Structures are given as structure tokens and as C-alpha cells.
Structure 1
Amino acid sequence: MKRREWLKAMGLVTAGVPAGQFTLFHAAKPVVNSRRVLRIAHMTDPHLNPSNKSAYWTTLCIEHIQSLQDKPDVIFNGGDTINDALRKSETEVLAQWDVWDEVAKKFRLPVVHTIGNHDVWGIADAQQDPRYAKAWAVEKLGLPNRYYDYEQNGWHFIVLDSTHLKEDGTWYTAKLDTEQFEWLKQKLQDIPSNRPVFIFSHIPIVCAAAFFDGDNERTGEWTIPGAWVHIDARSIVELFHQHKNVRVAVSGHIHLADAVLYNEVTYYCN
């Protein structure tokens, strides 16, 4: 499946967060031998745009989630909420956020958001605008910060900001900035070791599907752009390995679904 065929495979996945082992399952599949403490619906990459039917399909997805007999406790929105702010004018970005404002009225369940690369306002002419970069998305999504954490039902949730400037000052590469990485290190140090941790980001930290998104082996070497998967994955994976209570990391971005188990952390991209 191509990345842009999102309308055919818009991710509606529900996750049961049990007291112990983490399992991910589709809505029709029951949890077996687990004491579920939280049910999460993960939807991602709606790419809302006034020029197509993205609002219709996203609303349909939201209504389906909220009509499930076994309702989720919370919805996770994995980012790229709007179609593209990176290279668009103020007028064009405003029109996209206006679509979001209407769609957001459909939510009846709590929603946790992460910022996607297409939610970032990135044109050079906007650099002096207070809404430049992540600020506009933080405001429209009602976030406490571009990255943040909270606790719920015995789990600690950490929401990361994956989208950053490249070394040449242009957008974007997938990584954590130094401030955020140091915050993450301290946060994991402070969380009690017996409390499971759930990581939520837009861009995958580890992802198998990215290898097969295009002819990435055509040069005779595997080549995956730094905009597709975290370029600092090694540092993050090594950090997680120091904290055995990090159980799962969920992301979107790739428009493909996979699950990778590495160093006792399960990385889901849907």
C-alpha cells in the first residue's frame, strides 16, 4: 500500500492497556487473559483539507470509534491533523485549521494529541509570527506544551515532539531536540520502576514498514530518509533499554501498519 492511500486504510485501532503485558488488537478481537485497565483508540494522519473529503472520512472514523459497544476510554490522535502547514501561507493554513475546528466538535471522548510534521507552520516568511513552527498547532490542539506527560490508570504516558529543523535550517528531520531528550531522560529517571510507560510520537522511533515504502534498496544499500523514522533512534532505544518499564511506543506518519519488538519494547506504527 502506498503512503497516500490513507483514505482506504485510515487507522482505526483500539489498544487494551492491561495491568501487565501490553497487547494491541483490532476492535473486533477480544482481550484474552488480561486485566484491562484502559482502552485506547488510536487514529492518525487525517490530513484535514478543505479541498477534499478528508473531514467526512475523519468524522466517520470518530463516530465509529464512539459508537463501539466496548467504548474506548480515550482517543489518541497521532498527528498530521491538517494536510500541510509546512509550506503553506497563513491563509491556507488557517483554512485547514478551520476544518479541524469543525471536526473536533464531533469528539465526545477525551483526546490526546501529538504534533505531526504537517501540523508545523514552516515557511520562512512566518518566522516572526508567534504561531510559527509548533506554536499554532499547540494552540489549536489545546496542548500544554509541544511535548508533555501525564499518568492514567497506573500507566505513565509520554507524548513526544518528533519534527525538527535540519542542520541547514530547513524543515524537517525526525528527532528529539536536546532540551526534549534531556527532559525525557530525567522523566524516565523519576518515574517509579514499577510503573509501565507508554511512548506516543508522530514519527516512528523504530519501524520495519519504512524499509518497504519505495525502492529503498535500489542503490544496493538500504536507505531510509531521516524524515521517515527518528534519526536519533539509537540514542532513544538505548535510553529505553535502561528503563525496563518502558513497554510500548505508538506512532503514525508512515501510513503503513507494523509492529516491531526490540529490546523488550514493542513499537507499533499504524
Structure 2
Amino acid sequence: MNRRSWIRNTGLLTAASITSPATNAGLVADKPVLKIAHITDVHIRGGDDAPNRFKKCLADVLKHKPDFFLNGGDSIHAADYKDVTRETMLGYWKLWDECMRTLKGYEVHSCIGNHDPWWAAPSKEDEMYGKNYVVKRLKTPGRYYSFTQKNWHFVILDGNNEHVSLDDEQYQWLEADLAKLAPGTFVLLMSHYPILGATPMLAGGGGHSDYKKLKNLFYKHRDKVRICLSGHQHLQDHTEYNGIQYCCNGAMSGFWWEKGDAESAGPNYYQETPPGYAMLELYADGRVTNVYYPHLY
């Protein structure tokens, strides 16, 4: 049996489909108001033919006709390592820009991953040092931000702070951002790191240390908050707590575009998760589905 048949027969394409429990009883035959692609952990670099493989993946994503893209971070391979030169880092971003031309005409809303910032600059005053340069390269309004489309509000977070958390300024902003939303507005949050879920146990950590603080805030706004997206772990998981879905989707790069190791369940897998992307459908009444699609490149 080939890999394509194996993926189809094991049902991986629909294993991550989820629906808000508050509306299960009243499902109606309507269309989503938004269809969104979630890609994360691309880790673009020159080796293993990663750019061409990524472009093929994006071509597949476009067949779903998304309204826009959410990019969960670690867009480039590993600019954060101590020995990474300016030239290497700029080479990664050049490849990223080249691949993004495939998405010309589409909005791409990104968050910062831990591997995106370049910390090895000669000084902190260097224009390419740290997260501000990542914001510039990803063309985002800031390291955290929000926007609204239809009756859905999207919050993009930056967990790249002490102990993987929101800094005080960002948390206060998030409190105010959620508090000002009108009734009937639903919220999707995206962070690079999982806030809740199983993957931190399987990957040796890597989740938000302020998960309880965030959980309490989301419970306060449980009439609005519907789903939290993440990546980082290269593992696919969905967890429900207090009626809120926490979806950690697998990495576009899988095993960093490599074949895998002894723990890989298949070619390019990280543990049991194949490389892939997710498609989300958001409805006017707050329902949301997240379906994970393995790719074959």
C-alpha cells in the first residue's frame, strides 16, 4: 500500500475535525463565513529541496480556496542559533519571500516563532536583532495584534518571553482587547506555543507557562472565545477545555523536511504526526472546524 492510500484509509484527513459543543444540538445546513488555512513550522531553508516542496504544499492549500492564511511561526529554519551569521539568516528570509510569492493576493497573518529572531547580531542596536526585524520581514502590525473579519475576531500572540509566556504589557492589552468586543463576536487566538494540550508532555515541554492565567481569562470570555491555534511541537493534537478548543496542528516541515528518525511513524513524520496543514471553517454562530491535511511532499 502506498503512502497516499495509507493516509486516506486511516482517516487522517478528518481526524482533527472539531465543533463547538455549545451548538451541536442546533447544527444548520449553512455555509461558513470564513475559510482559513493554518500553516506553521515551515522552517524554510535551502536543503532537502525544501523551497520547492513548500511551494507544492501551498499549491495544494490554495485548492481549498481559503479566504486568508494564518502562519503560526518558525517560518524560517533556525535564525536563533548562536552561530548563525547575518548572511545565513538573510538567506532564509530570501527563500521565505520567494515562497510567499506563491500566495500573491492573499492575506497572510503571522506570529513569531522561537526560531525566527536573530539573536547573534553584534549588538542589540543592530536593525536585524531580535523580534522587531521578524515583524518587519513578516509584514505584521507588531509582535502581537488583532483584527476582525465578519463576526470573528482574530488575536495573534507573542509567547517568546520569559518561560514562554505573555509579558505584562501584552497580557493587559489582551484583557482590554477581549473586554471591548461586542456580544455575538467570536474569537480565534493563535500563538506559536500550545496553551493547553497533550503535546507538551510528548515533546518534553514547549507549552505556555502562563496557561492557567490564560485559561482563567478565556473562561471569563467563554461566550466569545472559541478556539486557540498553535504549532511549535510538530505534533497534531486537539483538546477541549471549558468549551474552548485548543488545536496544535502539525508542522508543514514535518521532521524539518528530513526523512525522520527511529520514532517516526512514517516518512517525514515527527513521532506519529505527518507533515501537513490545517483548514478551518468558521460559522456565523460561533461553530468552528479544524481539519488537518497531511501532505505528500
With structure 1 as the length reference, what TM-score do the two structures score?
0.78
Distance 2:174 2:108 in 1: 22
Aligned partner (choices 57, 61, 69) of residue 61 of structure 1: 57
SS at 1:238's partner residue? helix
Distance 1:133 1:22 in 2: 43
Shift of 1:18: 9.3
Distance 1:145 1:50 in 2: 28
The question of whether the paired residues in 2 share the 8 Å contact of 1:45 and 1:78 is answered with yes
Higher mean alpha-carbon deviation, 119-128 vs 232-241, is at: 119-128
The question of whether the paired residues in 2 share the 8 Å contact of 1:193 and 1:243 is answered with no
Distance 2:41 2:23 in 1: 23
SS at 1:105's partner residue? helix
Structure 2 residue aligned with 1:8 = none
- Structure 2 unaligned blocks of 5 or more: 1-11, 250-297
Highest RCO, 1 vs 2 (Cα 8 Å, sep ≥ 6)? 2
- Structure 1 unaligned blocks of 5 or more: 1-10, 24-30, 167-172, 214-223
Shift of 1:20: 9.9
Call closer, same or farther: CA 1:127–1:203 in 2, change over 3 Å.
Answer: same
The question of whether the paired residues in 2 share the 8 Å contact of 1:197 and 1:247 is answered with yes
Distance 2:194 2:23 in 1: 18
Higher mean alpha-carbon deviation, 113-122 vs 147-156, is at: 113-122
SS at 2:54's partner residue? helix
> Does the alignment pair 1:236 with 2:214?
yes
> Does the alignment pair 1:253 with 2:240?
no
> Does the alignment pair 1:206 with 2:176?
no
The question of whether the paired residues in 2 share the 8 Å contact of 1:86 and 1:122 is answered with yes
Distance 2:20 2:52 in 1: 36
- Structure 1 segments of 4+ aligned residues over 3 angstroms from their partners: 15-23, 31-35
> Does the alignment pair 1:160 with 2:157?
yes
RMSD, matched Cα:
2.7
The question of whether the paired residues in 1 share the 8 Å contact of 2:20 and 2:244 is answered with no
Q: Which aligned pairs between 1:20-39 and structure 2 lie closer than 5 A?
A: 33-39=29-35
Give the aligned residue type for 2:115: H
Percent of residue pairs bearing the same amino acid type: 35
Q: Which aligned pairs between 1:94-173 and structure 2 lie closer than 5 A?
A: 94-108=90-104, 109-123=106-120, 125-164=122-161, 166=162, 173=163
Structure 2 residue aligned with 1:6 = none
